[in-house]
Homo-oligomer: A and B are copies of this chain.
Amino acid sequence: MAKSITRKNSTRKEMISLAAARLFREKGFNATGMRDVADAVGIEAASLYNHIRSKSELLQEICFRVANEFHAQLNELDQKPNLNSLDRLTAVIRQHIHMWVTRLDEVIVANNESKYLDDPYNATFQNERKVYARRLEQIIEDGIKKGQIRKVKPYVVVQTILSAVRGIEFWHRTKKNISIEDLTSTMISHLIEGLKK
């Protein structure tokens, strides 16, 4: 009984969160009104507050859900010690593209709207990003040390890769005849071949 109530609540809340993610992505966090979110789920704005505490809370949950997911995927990769650096980077790129394709709204919100998080959430989130990037830099450094990667600045390479993948946001808008596979293979070959010795 308690379980069914919980599930009903969380399902409702999930709907609100996903609707918010779509709206925050399309119109931006500040330009999205609670009335917009309410309309999207078919209730009045006031009713939202039976499920969420505030508009800020919606943003927080979206951003940290995404951050946690990215870290979890990187954790999985860490448990495959027999991958070399370039294979590891390739897998990271694939993971990112997969996230972009399957959870576009949330990922874009986490990238573009996280700056509107209130403190201390804002600082925490930016730190998550930094830690994640640092983990990727380690992969590059390892590859340089082992002679698989040219002598580059790991920090710059990581930012280049992360930014490049992030650009899929704009790819989505146009109606090009490019499959996910073409997209993935072109990006990987471009970004990985450019690192080889």
A residues adjacent to B (C-beta < 8 A): 28, 30-31, 112, 115-116, 130, 150, 152-153, 155-157, 159-168, 170-171, 174, 176, 178, 182-183, 186-187, 189-195
Contacts of A187 in B (CB 8 A): 156, 160
With A28-B28, A30-B30, A189-B150 known as contacts, the answer to whether A156 contacts B178 (CB < 8 A) is yes
Contacts of A178 in B (CB 8 A): 153, 155-156
> What is the copy number of this chain in the assembly?
2
Closest-CB distance, A13 to chain B (whole angstroms): 26
Question: Which secondary structure dominates chain A's binding surface?
Answer: helix
Q: Is the CB of B174 within 8 A of A156?
A: no
Residue from B30, B115, B153 in contact with A186 in the complex, judged by beta carbons closer than 8 Å: B153
Contacts of A165 in B (CB 8 A): 163
Q: Across the two chains, which residue of chain B brings its CB closest to A162?
A: B167
